[in-house]
Structure 1
């Protein structure tokens, strides 16, 4: 019994010491009396589906740089981002196209100040087919005839493709984007022509990722989407400006030297001069650290990455 009481006594003493230590630790970690918690500033970043993966990567990385700032990202298309600037629900609009003059005029009329434009990188619009499709390259003229209203190409055999494994049809299944997408407008202007509409009957997807996923599931499909959405289940086609010319694959180098014919800038817009916390975030996006994220997520930075000797 004496041994038991002695053991209990030691446990009680040890427990008391532990409790005091924990209490002291808790006191040491607590906020000093009278100090208010630091407020987190939120940046609403809305727009281009092409840019949403990149924007999310920026947001997550910037959280490490500025823990008191939370960048909340959502997609929906370039048009939705600009609309969010107009209705005051976005601090930054991501767009894969330049803002239209009438959109800029509406922002001036509403806010009394023009939007600020920030060029943040480049994106190559890649042409995707199923990985089993034997086609290796295509011209802008072919793409026009596939996608543009009145274009005569609607079968793979017209492009010399006689057999696609597991394809149930020779018909070219066109995958496109919805018309609130900056990629939709850019592709239409460059491939179809600014005064030419798309053919009816395409499968119009909400997001860039959706286009690639549908092409990956559909052996007879062709689609266009950002280079950053490439997966092993699809094939990138080399693209030439005219039939008979050698095609060019989309890469950082071919985007920057403009030899790849379907590449465009990516922008961020603010409704006038941004407040300080938004400006600091944009400065970081344009810094070497922010531009490194552009490269890591499969897009093209403003300058070619430096190669270590």
Structure 2
């Protein structure tokens, strides 16, 4: 997988209007994989915006979709879950990608324009993964230890079985759904320590940890390149659990989560065809190829 970018990623592909007709029956198979029905009708652009965790996966879905429908134009951009949901609210994207659930205030704002919305669609599974430098002797941490590191109560690796050196902790920016998930699920809704360094995107976090021998950071499982992934223990007596497909899909990994598409209303036309492809066996195979995990 190429190195993800948190900056704008745009695919120039041709698309069809949402007013086109949709046939929900698959047409043929490719090595046993159902194919989504081809949309028909006038052309338009389909926009997909939001989570940096999902942006590379969204790009790959769109690239494969265009191979089947060469008259489709899809624009895929990142910027964070909050940015994508804000774009959905103000009507500047057709689909918002989010690595967290929509908040009540966002839902209320969206319903002012789309009373039947939003439509929530889990499209992949992920586990919040903690990365350390490849030379770090620490191989696992408990949930409580991770919480203490990011709240500033543990500041040295020696306190968790590592070197006698200060911990350099990295985090995502506060517009990130990953940031909010860690804040809410790991820190119990409390703030991060002022010692924690904020970086714009998971790729930047991984790059920083790969260079900093005493670093620790977090993000999606698919981004763990050039760093080592920590196993996580629910408590001191528990066995360490790696973020694998099995542990994330069955929820035994302590920080498992769904990744979502949000729409302002029920999908039709090209949007419906694209979503059908994303959730098809072929689309979910791309999830695995990208380093994430299929939805059940």
Please classify the TM superposition score into its range, dividing by the shorter chain length. 0.7 to 0.9
1:134 CA displacement = 0.7
1:53 partnered with 2:46: no
Q: State the partner residue of 2:156.
A: 155
Q: State the partner residue of 2:203.
A: 209
Q: State the partner residue of 1:296.
A: 289
Partner secondary structure for residue 121 of structure 1: strand
Partner secondary structure for residue 267 of structure 1: strand
Superposed, 1:252-263 pairs within 5 Å as 252-263=245-256
1:40 CA displacement = 4.3
Separation in 1, partners of 2:89, 2:42: 26
1:96 CA displacement = 0.5
Q: State the partner residue of 2:120.
A: 117
* Cα RMSD, aligned residues only: 1.3
**TM-score after normalising by structure 2:** 0.84
CA contact (8 A) 2:137 2:163 kept: no
CA contact (8 A) 1:79 1:182 kept: yes
Q: State the partner residue of 2:186.
A: 191
1:210 CA displacement = 1.1
Separation in 2, partners of 1:223, 1:178: 12
Partner secondary structure for residue 51 of structure 1: helix
1:271 partnered with 2:274: no
Q: Which stretches of structure 1, 4 residues or more, deviate above 4 A after TM superposition?
A: none
- After superposition, the C-alpha distances for 1:183-224 in whole angstroms (9 at most, x for unaligned) are 000011111102x11111211111111111110011110001
Q: State the partner residue of 2:222.
A: 228
> Which structure has the highest helix share of the two?
1
Q: State the partner residue of 1:62.
A: 65
Instruction: Give 5+ residue unaligned stretches, structure 2.
Output: 1-40
CA contact (8 A) 1:52 1:75 kept: yes
Choose 1 or 2 for highest CA Rg: 1
Separation in 2, partners of 1:51, 1:198: 24
Separation in 1, partners of 2:192, 2:53: 20
1:39 CA displacement = 5.8
Superposed, 1:75-90 pairs within 5 Å as 75-90=78-93
Aligned length: 256
Separation in 1, partners of 2:74, 2:291: 21
Partner secondary structure for residue 245 of structure 1: coil
Instruction: Give 5+ residue unaligned stretches, structure 1.
Output: 1-37, 164-169, 304-309
